[in-house]
Amino acid sequence: MTWDKYARQAQGWSENAYTDRETYLARRAELIRTLGPELHPGGTVLDLACGDGGLADFLPDQRYLGVDASAEMVASGRARGRQVIEADLNVFVPPEPVDATTIFRAIYYARDRRALLTRIGAYTTGKLVFDLNPRQYRLADVRGDLEAAGFDRLATHPFFVPQTRAPSRALQLLERSGPVAQLVLRLRFTLICAAWRASS
Ligand SMILES: C[S@@+](CC[C@H](N)C(=O)[O-])C[C@H]1O[C@@H](n2cnc3c(N)ncnc32)[C@H](O)[C@@H]1O
């Protein structure tokens, strides 16, 4: 299974996967909150392929629900007091609609991306936020799948916070540099994407 390899990494995932967990996840949470329609306090955020749910600490005013297919990741998240359900993101449907759905470092676990986005669109009332490696996937292809799933609005933002090196303020300033940021993205880093419906 695609998640088997994470069993051994589940204990202490957030601390070990990110050199500076605080900066990395806080910046991710800031973009989840602000890219596209703003999140309102008290909303529900569904985090698919959540790992140990470390993101929850940085969205304290949201009701956080994590989903992960790895039993070990789920146990790790629950041991931290997070609400995490064990399920495959390709088939999971939450008991009630959610305000926002997120997928980080896991969009490539979609068996059929368009089908997954359509499923998410059926239970997400606000927006979908995810990260994308533009060297691996063409943004135009992803946009096409999002539109087919009913998400007719898309905002993107470069995300220049390194996972395994110390973050740098200068790099973060480059996120807003337009053409220079596009050059950087040809070599490294990811884009954060927020998709929503104009009517929502
Ligand atoms: C690279 S980690 C990312 C974890 C977290 N989102 C983060 O950014 O730190 C990928 C996660 O996806 C989970 N995963 C892999 N395939 C999955 C699937 N089909 N459904 C749900 N979770 C899956 C793994 O167990 C693992 O926790």
Residue 17 Cβ contacting ligand 1 at under 6 Å: yes
Contact call for residues 23 and 162 (beta carbons, < 8 A): no
| pLDDT per residue rounded down to tens, the chain (200 residues) | 889 999 999 999 999 999 999 999 999 999 999 999 999 999 999 999 999 999 999 999 999 999 999 999 999 999 999 999 999 999 999 999 999 999 999 999 999 999 999 999 999 999 999 999 999 999 999 999 999 999 999 999 999 999 999 889 999 999 999 999 999 999 999 999 999 999 87
pTM confidence score: 0.97
CB of 73 closer than 6 angstroms to any ligand 1 atom: yes
Closest ligand 1 atom to residue 111 Cα is: 19
Q: Is the CB of 88 under 6 A from ligand 1?
A: yes
- Ligand 1 binding pocket includes 118 (Cβ within 6 Å): no
**Using CA atoms, how far apart are residues 51 and 46, in angstroms rounded to an integer?**
13
Question: In CATH, which of 1.10.3720.10, 3.40.50.150, 3.40.190.10, 3.50.50.60 is domain 4-196?
Answer: 3.40.50.150
Query: Would the CB of 143 count as within 6 Å of ligand 1?
Result: no
Looking at 65-150, list the stretches that DSSP marks H as alpha helix, in order from N- to C-terminal side: 71-79, 113-123, 139-148
Ligand 1 centroid–CA 196 distance in Å is: 23
Q: What is the pLDDT of residue 40?
A: 93
**Model pLDDT, residue 20:** 95
Q: For residues 198 and 48, give the distance between their C-alpha atoms in angstroms, rounded to a whole number.
A: 23
| Cβ-Cβ contacts under 8 Å for 170 (sequence gap 6 or more) | none
- C-alpha torsion 198→144→38→29, nearest 10: 170
Q: Is 75 in the pocket of ligand 1 (CB under 6 A)?
A: no
DSSP 16: H
Q: Ligand 1 centre from 88 Cα, in Å?
A: 9
Most ligand 1 atoms within 8 A of CB, residue of 3, 64, 84 to mutate: 3
Which residue has its alpha carbon closest to ligand 1 atom 3?
105
User: Which ligand 1 atom sits closest to the C-alpha of 28?
Assistant: 8
Say how far apart CA 131 and CA 144 lie, in whole Å: 16
CA 73 to ligand 1: nearest atom: 27
